[in-house]
Amino acid sequence: MTPERIATLVARWARLYTRRLPAPIAERRIEELGADVHDHIAHERAHGTGDRLIALGLLSRLVRGLPADVSWRGRHSPVARSVVRVALVTAAILLVPLVAMQLSGGVAWSPADFAVAAVLIGGAGLLQQLTARRVSDLTYRAAAGLALAAGFLLAWTALAVGVVREPDDPLNAMCAGVLAVGAVGAVLARGRPRGMARALLATALAQALAAAVALVASLAGGPTDRLGSVADVLGVNGLFVLLFAGSAWLFARAGRGSRAPVPAPHRSGHHDR
């Protein structure tokens, strides 16, 4: 182990944790560290310190600074910060059923349940963060938040308790179709408010159609008390129709006077640190 080898390691680590940061920030950190390491080695050699001890000292400084390096990187990389924030919130939410399982026999989540919940919560959170970063218009943000909340609730309800009868009822698969309409519509709209309004309106109509199919199936299949009450089907599906339609209305309002989402102000880190 030589000081030069550790110096190379320090430089590689610096290049790694400054990757994809704005060039002025990355270059400053790399150059400043290079000067520090050079000074460190020169100073110790001038004082007669052995190479092994110098290398150990450098390695120690590198290792003890790792947490701060990672934290500094997070501060300068808003995307990484958003991902960490969403991951923490998701973990915090999932702690609730985990703790409840220890306290009550009535809560029994399988690892698959946790995985699905993590994907749903994390996915919704990431989309929300993406929207908040891209758009500053509050109406647009509210519309997107409502659409995401409705989509999340629909998926959660369909998987957990069933929008139509029990979760394993094939009619619940229609919820996937409703969500697909919204997702495809959003992709086609490319985030433009008016296009998003149309996509969400189509989603609301798809939800209404799913409710109509469920009602027809219920009425055709036997007594309503066996199939779940008509009021339940109408109530649950009606709520989602209202949520998607409400989101469409907000998108339409956001679209008045603008054809593209208003970009959010750039919030990356300072260029000199």
Smallest separation, CB 72 to other proteins (Å): 5
d(CA 47, CA 54): 11
Q: Which CB atom, from 57 or from 78, has the smaller least distance to other proteins?
A: 57
Residues 44-63: x where in contact with other proteins by CB under 8 A, - otherwise, as a string: -------------x--xxxx
Can you tell me which of 4, 9, 22, 34 binds other proteins, judged by CB under 8 A? Answer: 34
Q: Which of 15, 16, 20, 32 binds other proteins (CB under 8 A)?
A: 32
Residue 71 to residue 77: CA distance in whole angstroms: 10
The tokens describing 273, both together, are: 């640190």
Is there binding between residue 38 and other proteins (CB under 8 A)?
Answer: yes
- What is the Cα–Cα distance from 18 to 28, expressed in whole angstroms? 10
Instruction: Supply the minimum distance, in Å, between the C-beta of residue 69 and other proteins.
Output: 4
Which two three-digit tokens encode residue 41? 């080695």
Determine, following the binding rule CB under 8 A, whether residue 138 of this chain makes contact with other proteins.
no
What is the smallest separation between the CB atom of 268 and other proteins, expressed in angstroms?
A: 14
CA-based nearest residue to 252, from 137, 126, 162: 137
C-alpha dihedral (240, 245, 250, 254), degrees to nearest 10: 130
Binding segment for other proteins (CB under 8 A), chosen from 27-35, 91-99, 118-126, 251-259, is: 27-35
- When computed from its CA atoms, the radius of gyration of the chain, rounded to whole angstroms, is 27
Would you count residue 72 as binding other proteins (CB under 8 A)? yes
In the region spanning residues 243 to 272, those forming contacts with other proteins, defined by CB under 8 A, are: 270, 272
Tell me the window of 25-33, 105-113, 142-150, 204-212 that interacts with other proteins (CB under 8 A): 25-33
Which of residues 22, 28, 189, 264 is near other proteins by CB under 8 A? 28
27 touches other proteins by CB under 8 A: no
- Is residue 67 within the footprint of other proteins (CB under 8 A)? yes
Least distance to other proteins, CB of residue 61, Å: 5
- Three-state SS across 133-179? HHECCHHHHHHHHHHHHHHHHHHHHHHHCCCCCCCCCHHHHHHHHHH
Q: Tell me if 88 contacts other proteins by CB under 8 A.
A: no
Q: What Å distances lie between residue 3 and 7, 21, 150, CA to CA?
A: 6, 28, 58
Q: Which long-range contacts (CB under 8 A, 24 or more apart) does 175-181 make?
A: 175/210, 177/206, 177/210, 178/154, 178/203, 178/206, 178/207, 178/210, 178/240, 179/151, 179/154, 179/155, 179/203, 181/206
Single out the segment in contact with other proteins by CB under 8 A; choices: 39-47, 80-88, 145-153, 173-181: 39-47
At closest approach, how far in Å is the CB of 35 from other proteins? 4
What residue ranges bind other proteins (CB under 8 A)? Answer: 10, 28-29, 31-36, 38-40, 42-43, 57, 60-72, 270, 272-273
